[in-house]
Amino acid sequence: MSITKAWYRKTVVPWLWLFLPFHALFVAVSTWRRRRFLSHPPTPLSVPVIVVGNISVGGTGKTPVTLALIERLQALGHQPAVISRGYGGKGPFPLSVTAATSAQSCGDEPLLLAQRSSVPLVVAPDRNAAAAEVLRIAPNTTVIISDDGLQHYALARQFEIAVVDATRSVGNGWRLPIGPLREPVKRLASVDAVVVNGAPTPAELHGLSHVYAMQLQPQGWRRVSDDAPCAALPNGRTVAIAGIGHPERFFATVSQLESRDFDTQAFADHYAYSAQDADALGTYEVVLMTEKDAMKWRGLAAASKAYYLPVTAQLPAALIAQIADQLKPSDADE
């Protein structure tokens, strides 16, 4: 059993107790960092910041939430910009990301955001450096969305959104490395909104007044090589691959959409695909993947037989109203 699978069982698998000393160290360091920043809050930026993150390791659906938030804020008259850590990217940082930037430079999720949204986007491990750069290149920005960064307390923020996967929830409820959590479950009570990806709402969230349901809607298959939409996938031996935090979610979606038999192959989150990986799938005539995986498959010889599935997040109107109210300037600002 992998450590990730062990984390998401409801009770602690016995061999995880071997990590108890490291767990104690992680809790001590993370608690100290949070208290240090909260006792000396960072200086707010010139525009409000919305952080979209989570308290657990692995994919929960933050990127689709960020994309949906961009669209809704634009509909309200805002000019949003995005900052991100750029996980897996080599920089140099801070790096302004466009649709033409390579995934190797900026990371897969920022490239996906840039290609889908076309808003100003800067990546850097130091989120304040990313924010300063995005305000320099886009001075008309009215709100910054931080894709991830809930635990990056050096960044001042006006609104926090924690995304939780309905199926995996908070796992066994323990922090790293015994469990999947970066912060304790009680942290969810202090964020402004908890967005649950899927249904039903996990029992751990019952009693919280700021929980919103969200569903991901598939938008139809597209060919990786040229982004052309496909009315129907070609016939042939098929494999579904996923280098995301929760591959099983994607495989379940493929099962719902396609009646064909297919094999599955899971890779590590943010996996950097190579020509060798594509060659290893040479016996397959159809390769299905997430949009995030497609960012690193373009340019590979096998891209012509690869297809990806874009998804969109449906955010409830009540959440957007709460955010809009929070972003209104106070009397002191007017």
Coil, strand or helix: which one is 2?
coil
**34 alpha carbon, distance to own chain's centre:** 22
DSSP 77-136: T--EEEEE--TT----SSEE--TTS-HHHH-HHHHHHHHHH-S-EEE-SSHHHHHHHHHH
Q: Is 63 a known ligand-binding residue?
A: yes
CA–CA distance, 11 with 183 (Å, rounded to integer): 18
Three-class secondary structure of residue 233 per DSSP: coil
57 is in an annotated binding site: yes
β strands within the chain, DSSP E: 49-53, 80-84, 95-96, 121-123, 143-147, 159-165, 193-197, 211-218, 222-223, 238-242, 263-266, 286-290, 306-309, 311-314
Q: Is 62 annotated as a binding residue?
A: yes
317 contact partners, CB below 8 Å, separation of at least 6: none
Q: Compute the chain's Rg from CA coordinates.
A: 20
Of 59, 64, 42, residue with least CA distance to 129: 42
Q: Is 198 marked as a binding-site residue?
A: no
Buried b (16+ CB within 10 A) or exposed e, 262-277: bebbbbebbbebeeeb
Q: Which residues of 15-35 are buried (b: 16+ CB within 10 A; e: fewer)?
A: ebeebeeebeebbeebeeeee
Is 220 within any annotated ligand binding site?
A: no
Closest among 154, 181, 144, 165 to 47, alpha carbons compared = 144
Is 259 part of any known ligand binding site? no
Among the listed residues 250, 49, 217, the one whose alpha carbon sits nearest the alpha carbon of residue 132:
49
Q: Which residues are annotated as a binding site for ATP?
A: 56-63
- Mark the binding-site residues, compressed into ranges: 56-63
